[in-house]
Amino acid sequence: MKHTTTIRDLLREHLEHNRLTLERFSRITGINRGTLSSILNVRSPKPLSIGQLDRITGGMGYDEGTLYELFVDECFHQAAPHWRRLRPFLMRCASLGKTECIRMVIGQLLDDLAHVPGIYDTAGLMYEEGYLAEASILYECVAESEKYSHSERLAMSQYRIFLIACRLQDRPADAAIRFIPYRFRLPEDCVMDGLWNLAEQFAAAGRWDDAYRYAVELEELAQAMSPYRDGSMKGRMRSKTTGEERIPAVYYARSQLLKGSVLVELGDLEGARRCMAVCREMSWGKDSGGGASSAVRMLKTMAEGKLLELDLLEGCRESLAPYVEFLRRHPQEAEDGVSNILRAAVEHHYNVDEELSEFSHLIHVGWMTERGGSLPEKGRMRSRARLYYYYAAYLIAGKKCKEGFEFLLHSVRFARESGMQDIMLQCMFLYEEHRDEAGTMQTQFKSTYALYRKETEHICSSGCKEELTVLQNG
């Protein structure tokens, strides 16, 4: 289909070829005969709406969206671009995944920066409707074209690009780094959300120092925005963008939990205990009603579970039974919880076979399902890699080496797929420690690490390269 062809040319050809009158085509499409006549008027054709275009496309026997490239030309060349036509068209393109049409429209709109506000508003509609990849295209254009570096619109565009990258697992770390300079330029009601999402993203990527930094910023901001510590919960606001309430007490509790979790990973169990205790003892929100106090209560319950976890990691075997009971009541915590039980068992030489039997489905059923080639979403890969690493360590410590090395390879697979270098190195050290017991599986480990070393050559530190080279060479 040549680009010089117009929608009206095709319609006239279709009517002539099929010997259709306007009256007949009107019945086929549901478009008024007079409207069709006005659309086909040679001297002063009536502009098409996207709804009329879809009906005409269907009436001509074409698939949805077939004529959208021609409609782009019509929007810009046969009439002045107007958001009353452009916005419904862009939303329709998003619903059909016609990203190339979206890029064509935006590329022409950016010849006039006066269209940037309209692009931004349309991106917001796409984001709310769940067309994330399409919204990201528009937000990227706003970010590149916004002339005021301190504008709220620029900050929100960078934030939404970051959130979309996290949701779609499309280089979220890169998007996070781009967003960081704008985090305090967001609307006041979004800043706590921004800091929370930054801290969570860096924690998910195993970048503990960065995760801790933004958790501390969240803690300080929540404190500054909540001068009321008597339980009145007057320190709350309603988001202008989502309408949801932003309650500093909730974010303060989240910051304490996240700080504590990060400190566990950094080996500071005492510091982690202080954070969990602060969260558990919070009195904020005790007199408030609704979701606020409910959310704080849930976070305090999570802190109680984390304190049991810390007891276990410090060698208190008596905390195992209450911790298992906690995981029964909160099954969403079970995967990470089982990893913690296994870690404690390895570090303090516990036998936890009986306790593991209750959660065997998390390990064995998940493993058998995923062996076939499918992987869980990347957001869960770190948790899965960690679980399999500690289960492998537990099995190897119990002299079940063959099964242990199978799970260690599985951990490697998840860690490599999700780019978790710290877990990859943990797996490597465990393998090196027990290399002589790996038998014929040594070849698999060497080839896996050789592949990983090649994939990460441009980012791996020299020390990491040396370790991987040692492993590869045997």
The yes-or-no verdict on residue 184 having pLDDT over 60 is yes
Cβ-defined contacts of 128-134 (< 8 Å, 24+) = 129/91, 129/94, 129/95, 131/91, 131/94, 131/95, 132/164, 132/167, 132/168, 133/99, 133/164, 133/168, 134/93, 134/94, 134/97, 134/99, 134/102
* Of 18, 104, 7, the residue nearest 56 (C-alpha): 7
SS3 180: helix
Q: How much is the pLDDT for 418? A: 75
Q: How much is the pLDDT for 112? A: 86
Plot region of 290 (φ>0 → left; ψ -120 to 50 → alpha; else → beta):
left
More confident call, 117 vs 362: 117
Q: How much is the pLDDT for 305? A: 95
Q: For residue 363, what is the DSSP state? A: I
Q: How much is the pLDDT for 397? A: 93
Cβ-defined contacts of 209-212 (< 8 Å, 24+) = 211/258, 211/262, 212/259, 212/262, 212/263, 212/266
pLDDT category, 368, cuts 50, 70, 90? Answer: very low
Q: What is d(CA 100, CA 105) in angstroms, rounded to the nearest whole number? A: 9
Q: How much is the pLDDT for 363? A: 84
Is the separation of the CB atoms in 452 and 413 below 8 Å? no
The yes-or-no verdict on residue 244 having pLDDT over 60 is no
Q: What is d(CA 380, CA 418) in angstroms, rounded to the nearest whole number? A: 9
User: For residue range 56-104, what is the model confidence (pLDDT) as tens digits?
Assistant: 999 999 999 999 998 888 888 766 788 888 999 999 999 999 999 999 9
Q: What is d(CA 204, CA 379) in angstroms, rounded to the nearest whole number? A: 7
Which residues sit opposite 237 in a β-bridge?
246
Q: How much is the pLDDT for 200? A: 93
Q: How much is the pLDDT for 45? A: 82
Angle at 461 between CA 459 and CA 467, to 5 degrees: 120
pLDDT category, 448, cuts 50, 70, 90? Answer: confident
Q: How much is the pLDDT for 16? A: 92
Q: Tell me which amino acid residue 337 is.
A: G
Q: How much is the pLDDT for 88? A: 94
Q: What count of other Cβ atoms lies within 10 Å of the Cβ of residue 226?
A: 19
Instruction: Give how far Cα 40 sits from Cα of 22, 88, 94, 344, Å.
Output: 10, 22, 28, 77
The yes-or-no verdict on residue 452 having pLDDT over 90 is no
Q: How much is the pLDDT for 437? A: 85
Angle at 11 between CA 10 and CA 12, to 5 degrees: 95
Q: How many residues does the chain have?
A: 474
Instruction: Tell me the range of 4-8, 38-42, 240-244, 405-409 where mean pLDDT is highest.
Output: 405-409
SS3 237: strand
Phi, psi of 246, rounded to the nearest 5 degrees:
-110, 110
pLDDT category, 245, cuts 50, 70, 90? Answer: low
The yes-or-no verdict on residue 241 having pLDDT over 50 is no
Q: What count of other Cβ atoms lies within 10 Å of the Cβ of residue 168?
A: 14
Name the token pair of 270: 């005492």
191, 193, 195, 197 alpha-carbon torsion, rounded to 10°: -150
Which residues sit opposite 238 in a β-bridge?
245
Domain span(s) for CATH 1.25.40 in the chain = 187-314
Q: What is d(CA 179, CA 41) in angstroms, rounded to the nearest whole number? A: 50
SS3 375: coil
Q: How much is the pLDDT for 457? A: 61
Q: Which helix (H) or strand (E) holds 245?
A: strand 245-246
Q: What is d(CA 351, CA 394) in angstroms, rounded to the nearest whole number? A: 9
Q: What is d(CA 207, CA 418) in angstroms, rounded to the nearest whole number? A: 13
Q: What percent of the chain clears pLDDT 90, i.e. is strictly above it?
A: 55
Is the separation of the CB atoms in 320 and 288 below 8 Å? no
User: For residue range 257-299, what is the model confidence (pLDDT) as tens digits?
Assistant: 999 999 999 999 999 999 999 999 887 655 444 455 788 889 9
Phi, psi of 454, rounded to the nearest 5 degrees:
-65, -40
Q: How much is the pLDDT for 288? A: 45
Chain mean pLDDT for the chain: 84
User: For residue range 415-427, what is the model confidence (pLDDT) as tens digits?
Assistant: 887 778 788 889 9
Instruction: Give how far Cα 195 sits from Cα of 15, 86, 180, 233, 271, Å.
Output: 59, 34, 9, 21, 21
Q: How far is CA 374 from the centre of its chain?
A: 19
User: For residue range 121-164, what is the model confidence (pLDDT) as tens digits?
Assistant: 999 999 999 999 999 999 999 999 987 778 899 999 999 999 99
- Arch. (CATH architecture) of 187-314: Alpha Horseshoe (1.25)
Q: What does the pLDDT average to over 342-359? A: 93
Q: How much is the pLDDT for 285? A: 53
